[in-house]
Amino acid sequence: MHAFRKLVGTELKVTVRDAPVALVAVIFPAAIVAIFGAIAKPGESSDPLKYFYQPMSLAMGIGVLSFSLMATEMATYREKGILRRLATTPVNPSRLLGAQLVTNLIIACAAVIAVVLLGSLAFGFPWPGDALAFLVTIVLSLGALLGIGTFIAAVAPASRVATGIGVGFYFVNLVLGGIFVPKEQLPAALSNIGDYSPLGAMLAALRQAWAGHWPMPLHLIVLGVCAVLFGGLAIKLFRWE
């Protein structure tokens, strides 16, 4: 356990020193909330779309952290031979992947706190209406998105491959998940497909929780399945080189 804590501490220091990671994962979603807060003035509005902006910003920020930044960093380790050298030490794949997962989980939680506090205190966005539903959704969403990112990191042979897979998957989710355009304005077929995408399920469940309702079981199931499936595959298929 002591060795794992040291590994997490090292990974966290490396990640925090990488300014783009902090910028994209934490500042980017907070900036989106600030921009839409200044434009939409949610404190004075009864439009149900006021429950859209904070979930949307979290889906975008945590999505790019998981699918692109984390996956690319681990693939870079493999490309530079760092993982091959670690293979000669007692550090096993599950411990290394666990340290990466915990590190990015801390960053993702910082993004959640920043978005909720900034949006509600500074711009009048509503607080999550159902606290339990919000917490359950956040836990499942982080498990799903970081699980997928860990899977990409585990199997991508090079940083360019990881970036290509992650960015491609990210933008497909943005389109299908109702993030670029709210799902109410999407064609019915695309909206239905988006319910089965991780970012789409996350966004829909968070919107329900923010509005004070329990999310649809479908969205929670999608997130849970993604977390278990891709997390397990990441450990099973991990390659040192």
Q: How many CB atoms lie within 10 A of CB 179?
A: 25
Read off the pLDDT of residues 38-72 as tens digits, 9 standing for 90 and up: 887 776 666 777 889 999 999 999 999 999 888 88
The DSSP output letter for 211 is T
| pLDDT digits 0-9 by tens, 98-141 | 777 888 888 899 999 999 999 989 888 889 999 999 999 999 99
pTM more than 0.95: no
Provide the residue ranges of all domains of the chain, joining segments of one domain with +.
2-237
Q: Which amino acid is at 216?
A: M
What pLDDT, on a 0 to 100 scale, did the predictor assign at position 235? 81
pLDDT above 90 for 236: no
The pLDDT of residue 91: 65
Q: How much is the pLDDT for 43? A: 63
Gap between the Cα atoms of 98 and 2, Å rounded: 14
Q: Which residues contact 146 (CB under 8 A, 6 or more apart)?
A: 66, 70, 101, 104, 105, 108
Q: Which amino acid is at 68?
A: S
- In this predicted structure, what is the pLDDT of residue 92? 65
3-state SS, residue 214: coil
How many CB atoms sit inside 10 A of residue 41's CB? 12
Residues 60 and 141 sit within 8 Å (Cβ to Cβ): no
- Tens-place pLDDT, residues 71-89: 888 888 777 777 777 667 7
For the chain, give the mean pLDDT: 85
Whole-number pLDDT of residue 101: 80
Q: Which residues contact 2 (CB under 8 A, 6 or more apart)?
A: none
